[in-house]
Structure 1
Amino acid sequence: MRLAETVTFGGGGLDRAAHERGEAAQERLLADSRARTLLLWRGKVLMTGEEALALARLPLGHPVMAQAETAPVYLGQLEDGPLFACDISGWEPEALDEEELGRFLDLTEQRHPALDDSLRFVELRAVMTALTPREAELGATAKAIFGWHASHGFCARCGAASEMRQAGWQRVCPACGQHHFPRTDPVVIMLITHGNSVLLGRAPHWPEGMYSLLAGFVEPGETIEAAVRREVLEESGVRVGAVSYLSSQPWPFPASLMLGCRGEALSTEITLDPVELEAAQWVSRERVMQAMAGGDPEIRPARPGAIAHFLLRNWLADRLV
């Protein structure tokens, strides 16, 4: 496996077994005594364990499944049997703090009365680096697919309510027959360098002191390289020349595929787009190293697990291949 594939949410090797998403195969798999399901609530995944975290896997016949709002989504075939995911977002925990749930990083945990007290719903971003590659991939897949279903319940062509098909990997409109497939939004994220320095910026809503690589959505009809140059120019006023692809990362917050790229700056003067960035600056390799070690009083780099952290760490180690 290439170093680029060791990014969080990548390299899990999940067998998605797409050939088993038909009705006949699903009927057989759902009846398999080995079948287990992950459980989600409002985008959070049910976890077990303390120091060694893992996704909780419940039997499909567990009483809590009565609160599932849709049929199970088939994630794939594991070594010990088929794995599904179910969503119980309709459940309302007691004393729920909606303000905490809406924070940049939600650290609250919710426990369901029908489940063992050691099981709790956890924000995936808060624990992503504590999971194995397979567990991280499963959590990201389940979160992304249910996020899509939650926001795409109606046909984009005629507006009628659509129905889940193909074990959760398709929606079909009964009114006009249109087929809809899970949406993933491509986003370029750029390691822009000039000599010994890298371009870092911060968005207005980020936690104080947090800086990361510049990023932006790829537009229709646009190449990855063109998107890198356009986004950097729009946000910072810096012109970019040569662009190369480095690594990708599924990022289910809510539904992005981060395309990590490297770009060589042709200019260094910064002119901010205040809507996109609150600040931006060129930061030397030595200062980035200090910040990554927690020793810079002004810069907090992107959190471990994010592709920005992955790219910066490997840039410091001269391991970008």
Structure 2
Amino acid sequence: MNPDRPGYAFGRAGADRCDGLRSDPDAIRALWPDGRVILIDPHGAAVAQGPESSLDLYLPRGRELPDLLAEASLLGRDADGAAWFALPSERVGHLPEGRIDLRGAASGLPSLQAGLLAYGRALLHWQRHNRHCGRCGAPLSLLRAGHQATCPACRSDFYPRTDPAVIVLVSDGERILLGRQASWPPRRYSVLAGFVEPGEQLEETVEREVMEEAGLRVLHSHYVASQPWPFPSALMIGFTALAEPAEPTCGDELEDARWFDVETLMAEIARGDLLLSPRISIARYLIDDWLRQRGALASNPNV
């Protein structure tokens, strides 16, 4: 497993976020004319162009939107030094009709564009849902290239929110535990996950979620990797955990939870009786790595 080069979406997109430029309006103004602008609609999809079967991001340059720099958010610069910005699509008229949602971007766009779209989507979601001060109710003003909101009335400052959640591959040493929610597509199983609560260590979240969802006691856990998951603002923090080999007992969130050894898992996948999480997710990364360590993927590359 190499979390420095993740096999899932949105990780290490290859852009410098340029924190030092966010408070430098002259530098941002100089980057704007040649900058690429990702236009994101209120539903979080990016404006796209081209045939439906092969949509590409519609990326106007800043010079084509000369009056909108003040409403744009700087995302950073790519390896070639080009600047990237995010802008609400409703501020621009006469746009192409195509749209790419984030899941489509994860599988269909270059990693740089998919990662920057994920970043821009989360940032604009925060801006759109935090227009007024949470303390006094006054309208907020955006600063630092869209990364800070300040209240001119009471001087309170606000920053983009990220919601941490653990996602954990549970094993008893020989088998892994997979569960499914009733709302998922038929036959879909995945690893367990849940949000971190206030005042809680990540390891405590792992232990609590596994007990709540499957009734199993975790003996120990280890951090593996993380994945931004802006639906709308989660950060998935990946763990592996060793649990007691008891029979799982489902809580309110799962309709089923089962132990799978390698042979059973591969056989059910081959028969079409079980579907794993999409490859864009860290959930699939954790499962694939467990299989890879046991030589299963090498002999079954299409899993």
- The answer to whether TM tops 0.5 is yes
Q: 1:70 touches 1:86 (CA, 8 Å); kept in 2?
A: no
Distance 2:13 2:184 in 1: 30
Say if 1:89 and 1:234 are closer, same or farther in 2 by CA, change over 3 A. Answer: farther
Please tell me whether residue 282 in structure 1 is matched to residue 259 in structure 2: yes
Distance 2:246 2:205 in 1: 19
Q: 1:125: Cα distance to partner? A: 0.8
1:306 is matched by which residue type in structure 2? S
Q: 1:72 touches 1:168 (CA, 8 Å); kept in 2?
A: yes
Say if 1:61 and 1:75 are closer, same or farther in 2 by CA, change over 3 A. Answer: same
Distance 2:150 2:103 in 1: 31
Work out which of the residue numbers 209, 217, 223 in structure 2 matches 1:231: 209
1:83-114: per-residue Cα shift (whole Å, max 9, x none)?
A: 111112578xxxxxxxxxxxxxxxxxxxx8x3
Q: 1:269: Cα distance to partner? A: 2.0
1:288 is matched by which residue type in structure 2? L
User: Where does 1:63-102 land on structure 2 (aligned, <5 Å)?
Assistant: 71-78=71-78, 79-89=80-90
1:59 corresponding residue in structure 2: 61
Distance 1:60 1:25 in 2: 14
1:40 corresponding residue in structure 2: 40
Q: 2:21 touches 2:27 (CA, 8 Å); kept in 1?
A: yes
Work out which of the residue numbers 173, 176, 180 in structure 1 matches 2:151: 173
Distance 2:38 2:107 in 1: 19
2:29 corresponding residue in structure 1: 27
Q: 1:5 touches 1:247 (CA, 8 Å); kept in 2?
A: no
1:259 corresponding residue in structure 2: 237
Say if 1:76 and 1:69 are closer, same or farther in 2 by CA, change over 3 A. Answer: closer
User: Where does 1:113-152 land on structure 2 (aligned, <5 Å)?
Assistant: 114-115=94-95, 120-152=98-130
Say if 1:279 and 1:267 are closer, same or farther in 2 by CA, change over 3 A. Answer: same
Work out which of the residue numbers 152, 158, 163 in structure 2 matches 1:185: 163
1:76 is matched by which residue type in structure 2? G
1:35-55: per-residue Cα shift (whole Å, max 9, x none)?
A: 220111120013356677653
SS of residue matched to 2:279:
coil
Distance 1:250 1:5 in 2: 14
Q: 2:9 touches 2:106 (CA, 8 Å); kept in 1?
A: yes
2:298 corresponding residue in structure 1: none
Distance 1:194 1:48 in 2: 49
2:291 corresponding residue in structure 1: 316
Q: 1:231: Cα distance to partner? A: 0.6
2:299 corresponding residue in structure 1: none
- Please report the TM-score for the alignment, with normalisation by the length of structure 1: 0.82
Distance 1:296 1:127 in 2: 29
Distance 2:64 2:27 in 1: 22
Say if 1:259 and 1:251 are closer, same or farther in 2 by CA, change over 3 A. Answer: same
2:300 corresponding residue in structure 1: none
Percent identity, aligned pairs only, is: 36
SS of residue matched to 1:47:
strand
Q: How many residues align?
A: 289
Distance 2:236 2:63 in 1: 37
Distance 1:142 1:176 in 2: 28
Distance 2:289 2:90 in 1: 38
1:262-316: per-residue Cα shift (whole Å, max 9, x none)?
A: 0001242222112x1121111222233345xx52433211111011011111111
Please tell me whether residue 198 in structure 1 is matched to residue 176 in structure 2: yes
Provide structure 1 residue ranges, at least 5 long, that are not aligned to the other structure.
92-111
SS of residue matched to 2:165:
strand
Q: 2:18 touches 2:77 (CA, 8 Å); kept in 1?
A: yes
SS of residue matched to 1:58:
coil
Q: 1:317: Cα distance to partner? A: 0.4
1:301 corresponding residue in structure 2: 276
Say if 1:3 and 1:53 are closer, same or farther in 2 by CA, change over 3 A. Answer: farther
Q: 1:55 touches 1:139 (CA, 8 Å); kept in 2?
A: no
| Range moving further from structure 2, 162-171 or 73-82 | 73-82
1:270 corresponding residue in structure 2: 248
